[in-house]
Chains A and B, each alone.
Chain A
Amino acid sequence: MTSPPDLSGLNARGRWPPPDGPRVAIVGSRRPSPYGEAVAEQLAAELARAGVIVVSGLALGCDAAAHRGALIGGGVTVAVMGTGVDIVYPAAHFRLAEEILAAGGALVSQFPNGTSPRRHNFPARNLTMAALSHAVVVVEAVQGSGALITAEAALDLHKEVMAVPGSIFSPLSVGTHALIRDGAGLVQNARDILAALGVGREVLDDPLKPPKRLGFELPGERDGILIHLSDVLTVSAAELARKLHLPISEVLGRLTSLELDGAVRRHGAGYVRALRRAKERA
């Protein structure tokens, strides 16, 4: 295990060091399921509202969702980068980086300015992320993913590691389930994280009762198709047609109609239930 990185030597853009307060890293797959993306965004938004500084890596997928969620929650968020702070990678996140800075957050990096994205820099970045945070929450991770490196580093640094459960059928939850089995805290909502940090005033949910919703509004069940759809795994139109004994043309049409209403999303070659936030962005 490499020694913890030197935090004093970090390059930064924006407000650095950040304001006082607990810092939580939210990390996960760069290619999350719609479920993972929604969870990262929602958790970050709620933590931000509770005054937590959300730390993540500005990568695609869960990282971007976490930064975005923190901005939605009106909070401060810190992006720990694997490049120099003057190079936004991926370039598509240029605007997100600007928004992070505008909201009083920071872009930080242990690498000198001008460092371009290099494969071997990212694991080192993950260590820094763990070192900067009081707790690390893994949203979705396949086996051997970078998010798990961050979690391992956090364990070595005696930081709290927590994980979000998912479907047992989803390869994206294999990593998080492994963490939970090995003792990571179970995250069902933002309060679970706040409690672990010792800042939550509310008591934890009774594990024997269904958890409070994360704040998602489940779509109405006015259409028989929705109950056959999942938040995590895609279902193809053909499977739906078979289950419902309907012609494929009709199923395609009804899915399109649901998609227009925002209740369903296309994901790859199939469909998933869209998770809409109860509180839309202002």
Chain B
Amino acid sequence: MLATVDSCVLAGLEARRVEVQADSANGEPKFFLVGLAATSVKEARERVRSAIKNSGLAFPGKRLTVNLAPAEMRKTGTALDLAMAVAIALAETGGRVPERSAFLGELALDGAVRHVDGVLVAARCLKKLGYQRLFVPAADAEEAALVVGLDVIPCGNVAEVVAHLRGGEQIAPQPFTDAALESSPDVLENDLAEVHGQEEARRAIEVAAAGGHHLLLSGPPGSGKTMLARCLPGILPPLELAEAFDVAQVRSLLGDLLPGRPIDWSRPFRAPHHGISMAGLIGGGSGYASPGEISRANHGVLFLDELAEFQANVLQALRQPLETGRVTITRSGGSVTYPALFTLVAATNPCPCGWLGDPVRTCRCTPAVVDAYQRRLSGPLLDRIDLQVGVRRVPLSQLASEPRGEASGVVRERVLAARARQLARQGCLNAQLRPSRLRNLAALEPGSRLTLERWSERKGLTARGFHRAWRVARTAADLEASELIADRHVLEALGYRLHDVAA
């Protein structure tokens, strides 16, 4: 007899439908698995056989063929286990799967249905493909139930599922997980109130938060660069629903959702170590690339400490995502595109020893070494960082007497207002404005235009640098709730261009 059960495999943030067909025929008892299955899928034969047997169900003592269609598509992962087991059980005894249902889950030898990664992504895509009912591992049911209008059946083990399908004891569907009801505690890692002095960097962080601009902090060791960077998430608004979904999808793919709390409203903050590989930062791996740190930082903050210590090719690969907010990676399985719309906060020492320009300690690096170090932060990458500020070390003895600034809560109010203005005007943050829209939405007063042009000429700015300074000026005006970009806004924006050195 023949039975057909639907499932899917993931290609990045897309699900590809897979039809699992099981046929038992007379002949020598054998189990064939066909349909371009990768090793992880081929191993399913052994898991499925044991799981069925140990669930008290009969494994067909006949010639059994399982086909994974479409047969020309390569399949990886363990999420097809459950569908195979169900198809085999139904092929033996007869019975049908309800219309528009799909199955996901890995099997243990005792028949238990185990967690698989990416259930949220699969649920969202299958719903779009017209599926109504999804059988998922009980551990992943809450995550799948985030998708509106999808019946989610939490599966504990194969026997339960088969009984449910044959009209025996029914499994209660998972109640809809209302994302809006999920709340996450407002834990701020660092508050700006703890930062002494550093007015320039504080202001730069405020501008970065308000306009979504990338930020570079340059200063000697112990000047508080890391602490300042960690203050950024605390002055950003919580995620919007759609953004929280985007974040949850990437986490789901990586199996990184918090149990019991699939939706997290706080902005991601990722701080990978400078030894990270290209695949780790940008995304990669065999088959279909998995998301890297830049995609985990989507809608949040990517903090790269010791920027100059990262491998040069890894830094160069950041250029495309910085510009487009997305990254497309091609591997043997095909091309996948992941979102990577993050605010980059980078920190660097001014030289290898770190003390160049420090008022007290003397730098021990030779000029050639300093030159090579600073050149590693090549022009093209720096050109994409709108805000570049120097951070000075405050001697410990003076730290207590440095003035304390406003708390994050106060700054956040201004940031929220400035972001609201931008979204109302143009539907995106200033940092994402294309040059053509910039001209329409961020008209410069003649005087401020002249200032920007004089600077560009004097410092040899690229067209990109010119537009970036313009966008920062737009944000400075938005922070003042000013529709016009005045000269002072342009001048402030140019004040954040530490690395424009050509005179």
1/0 contact trace for B337-365 toward A, CB 8 Å? 00000000000001000001101001100
Bound Cα distance A269, B390 (Å): 4
* Closest A residue, CB atoms, query B390: A269
Residue of A nearest to B499 (CB): A266
Q: Are A253 and B492 in contact (CB under 8 A)?
A: yes
Collect the chain B residues with CB atoms within 8 Å of residue A90's CB: 367-368
A255 interface contact, C-beta 8 A: yes
Segment from A148-156, A183-191, A244-252 that makes contact with B: A244-252
A236-B390, A269-B392 are contacts. A260–B458 as well, Cβ < 8 Å? Answer: yes
State the CA gap A30–B367 with chains docked (Å). Answer: 8
Decide if A40 is an interface residue (CB 8 Å cutoff): no
Interchain CB contact under 8 A, A234 and B492: no
Give the size range of B's interface with the partner.
35 or more
Q: Known contacts A268-B350, A269-B219, A269-B390: does B488 contact A248 (CB below 8 Å)?
A: no
A242 lies within 8 A of B403 (CB): yes
Of residues B366, B495, B501, which shows the largest number of chain A Cβ atoms within 10 Å of its Cβ? B495
CB–CB B498/A266 < 8 A: yes
- In whole Å, how far is B449's beta carbon from the nearest beta carbon of chain A? 14
> Which of A238, A241, A252, A260 makes the CB contact (< 8 A) with B492?
A252
Contact of A252 among B200, B218, B391 (CB under 8 A): B200
**Interface residue B35 (Cβ < 8 Å from any Cβ of A):** no
Given contacts A237-B495, A241-B199, A256-B491, contact A171 B219 (CB under 8 A): no
Q: Is there a chain A Cβ closer than 8 Å to B321's Cβ?
A: no
A211 within 8 A of B: no
- Are B203 and A248 in contact, CB atoms less than 8 angstroms apart? yes
Q: Which residue of A lies closest to B391 (CB)?
A: A269
Interface residues of A in 2-52 (CB under 8 A from B): 30-31
Q: Is the CB of A253 within 8 A of B367?
A: no
**A31, B498: Cα distance in complex, Å:** 18
| B455 to chain A: closest residue by CB | A260
Q: For the complex formed, measure the closest distance between the CB of A146 and the CB atoms of chain B, giving whole angstroms.
A: 12
A269/B218 in contact, CB under 8 A: yes
| Chain B residues within an 8 Å CB radius of A267 | 357
30 A–B pairs (Cβ distance < 8 Å), ordered by A: A30-B366, A30-B367, A31-B367, A61-B367, A90-B368, A237-B199, A238-B197, A238-B198, A238-B392, A248-B199, A248-B200, A248-B202, A248-B203, A249-B488, A249-B492, A252-B200, A252-B491, A253-B487, A253-B488, A253-B495, A256-B491, A260-B455, A260-B458, A266-B498, A266-B501, A269-B218, A269-B357, A269-B392, A269-B498, A270-B392
Interface, chain B (partner A; CB < 8 A): 197-200, 202-203, 218-219, 350, 356-357, 359, 362-363, 366-368, 389-392, 403, 451, 454-455, 458, 476, 487-489, 491-492, 494-496, 498, 501
